[in-house]
Amino acid sequence: MGTGDLSRRDATTIDRFREHLVSGPKKLLMVANYFPPMASGGIARQLRFLRYLPEFGWTATVLSCRAKGPVPDPEGVRIVRAAAPGPESLYALGRRIRPANARPGATGAPQPGASGAPGSGAPAGRRLVRRAWVNDWFFVPDEYVGWIVPGIIKGRRLLREERYDAILSSYPRGSTHLIAAALAAGSGLPWLADYRDPWPTHQFRRPPTALHRRAHFWLEGWALRHAGAATASNEPIADDLRRRYPTLAANVHVLPNGFDRAEPVDQISLGEGFWLVHTGRVYSRGHKVMRLLDALAALPDDVRMRFVGVDGPQIVARAEALGIAGRVSVEPFVQRPRALGYQRAADALVLITGDAPEALSSKIYEYLVAAKPVFAMTPPHSCAARLLDSTGGGVVADPAAPLADELTRFVAGVRSGERRGADPGTLGRYDGRSLTGELAALLDALIEKPRGAS
């Protein structure tokens, strides 16, 4: 590279710096779905970014879709919403042509103990199974495919009318990445693709045919051709991206999920006894929940279990069959401060994950900062197991091994004081403010990189 190239690059950097001095903070367009009012634990990652980015010289506008849900919009965040034509007519068709119990345990289908809509029961679970089948067959990359064109139109209007420096989108909805990729391709702005889950290689999302699978791979490949960088919530997801997209590999970074000590936490009292608590969605096949209940039945009567944020009639039915209905309670959707309050009120916390190496629910970071011991039903090779080992945060119970004795020893260890929560000194890496600083540094580097540079 000649000195003339360096001079031109330096001049461009100086011009951008002067522009920022005049125009204020750097501006980020965040393409987000899931997002409030939708309810999802993964939203917390985006909300932490939005809360702390201004401290690092960035302000954000959120491009999301019109939606219904129980979660309030975050205060002080500008949200621009695009239309999201829904698939309700095809859902109705699915109800007519597909039995309610089709594809048990399939992609997107609720498992025993999986969270559903607030107040729903078995009929709601059957509706979700039907919807999952319709989604898998007719909506690629996801059921929000209808908001892709309106999102692109709305986003292009924003980019024409206002100055932005970069674009960020966060998967697990492929439609979100497709909108961001189209906006990046049309505007020349750098785009950072954030992955909270893998896309076509996700353990719980199995396309129904080889053609569907190829479509997901092709769409992701098209999108990432326009990405300047990518972040992943853990190393296996990052490694998968590096392996499949070698031209992007040098710009794939691990940016963990984390916790935010500034979040409000409700005061909760669970009452007498020893309380095990699980909050949020159960990311696994339902047999793990049933095995947990079987193990609970072997423990003393004062050991109780509360599932928060799930609506599981199967859980209640199993507890009744085991004669422990009085020791097991289920509470459907709660707002986040209440869920965090339950974590603080528990004697110990329960984590149930899938079986893939990237298995690592975002709730584990909340569990760790709650300073309560964690009983994790997760494979020894999973990210969750490695995180608990590195922080001393709990016990890993191999889902393939007998469970009752392991749970009995865990409860006894907590009661005796031998088993404690995570070592606070190991948790600094996962502080939400620090992680947002890492994101801001990546965005800073991205906007200073000459277009087309690797």
DSSP 284-350: S-THHHHHHHHHHHTS-TTEEEEEES---HHHHHHHHHHT-GGGEEEE----HHHHHHHHHH-SEEE
354 in Cβ contact with 284 (< 8 Å): yes
ω before 245 within 30° of 0 (cis)? no
Q: Fill in the amino acid letter for 104.
A: P
Predicted pLDDT at 88: 62
pLDDT of amino acid 17 = 44
User: In CATH, which of 3.40.50.450, 3.40.190.80, 3.40.30.10, 3.40.50.2000 is domain 274-430?
Assistant: 3.40.50.2000
Q: Are 345 and 322 in contact (CB under 8 A)?
A: no
Q: Encoding tokens for residue 443?
A: 């965005």
DSSP labels for 245-276?
A: -TTTGGGEEE----B-TTS--------SSEEE
Task: Name 304's Cβ contacts closer than 8 Å, sequence gap at least 6.
Answer: 270, 273, 274, 275, 276, 327, 328, 329
Structure tokens at 34: 């899931």
CATH number of this structure's domain 14-84+142-258+432-448 = 3.40.50.2000
Which residues in the chain are classed under CATH 3.40.50.2000?
14-84+142-258+432-448, 274-430
Q: What is the side-by-side strand order in the sheet with 166-171? A: 78-82, 58-65, 26-31, 166-171, 191-195, 229-232, 252-254
> What pLDDT is recorded for position 104?
37
The dihedral of CA 254, 255, 257, 259: what is its sign?
positive
State how far the alpha carbon of 446 is from the alpha carbons of 159, 167, 264, 316, in Å. 18, 10, 33, 50
pLDDT at 207: 87
Q: Is the dihedral of CA 103, 109, 114, 116 positive or negative?
A: negative
Residue 209 C-alpha from the chain's centroid: 26
Residues of the chain below pLDDT 50: 1-22, 99-124
What is the per-residue pLDDT for 136? 83
- Give the Cα separation of 256 and 3 in Å (integer): 39
